[in-house]
Amino acid sequence: MKIALITAAALTALAIAAAPGVAAASEHDGDRAAGQRVYNTQCRACHTLNQGGRSGVGPNLWGFFGRAAGAVDGFRYSAAMREKATGGLVWNDETVRAYLANPKSVVPSGSMSFVGLRNPKQIIDVIAYLRHETAPH
Ligand code: HEC
């Protein structure tokens, strides 16, 4: 009995130590308020976030997270983006981060005229804000 308890405790400790989600979670926890400032200054001129929002220079971003790239009806994406979409590009944490850091690294000759965000914290923050604003909550 005692041995079983000790074993269980040891296994629990191991599970906690090994859980990749624990460290990753804090890394992914962007600051939404800071992210909103990034969006307002860097993205809002071209993108709306609300459901049914109009597309402008860039497509409306409602629901884009977890979805295939280039999926907004009626928006004229670049040929490069349409090609990437056909090739299976999906917007997730990794691809959005890469795209915001340097759009041309993900969609070379795409039409998003944006140099990219240098500061990794700004990327994490704006992703936290976008995730919240572009999905039902
Ligand atoms: C000067 C206008 C402009 C700015 C500024 C801009 N974008 Fe874009 N964005 C675009 C255009 C145009 C596209 C479509 C690109 C293409 O078709 O190659 C796009 C595409 C995207 C996509 C892919 C959407 C989809 O439906 O596949 C995401 C995500 C995105 N932008 C996020 C952002 C974020 C976040 C910012 C701010 C950090 C930003 N953009 C700044 C114009 C802009």
Cα of first residue to Cα of last residue in the chain, in angstroms, is: 47
Confidence of residue 137 (pLDDT cuts 50, 70, 90): confident
Q: Is the pLDDT of residue 17 over 90?
A: no
Q: Mutate which of 42, 46, 65, 117 to test ligand 1's pocket (most atoms within 8 Å of Cβ)?
A: 46
pLDDT at 37: 98
Task: Provide the whole-model pTM.
Answer: 0.84
Q: What does the alpha-carbon distance between residue 36 and residue 127 come to, in Å, rounded to a whole number?
A: 9
pLDDT at 73: 95
pLDDT at 2: 58
pLDDT at 20: 46
Higher pLDDT, 123 or 2: 123
Confidence of residue 4 (pLDDT cuts 50, 70, 90): low
> Which architecture, in CATH terms, is 31-133?
Orthogonal Bundle (1.10)
Q: Is the pLDDT of residue 22 over 60?
A: no
E strands along the chain, which residues? none
C-beta neighbour count of 47 within 10 angstroms: 20
What residue's CA is closest to ligand 1, atom 33? 43
What residue's CA is closest to ligand 1, atom 41? 43
Residues 34-58, mean pLDDT to the nearest whole number:
98
Instruction: Delimit the domains of the chain by residue range.
Output: 1-30, 31-133
Higher pLDDT, 19 or 103: 103
Task: At 65, list the tokens.
Answer: 């997270």
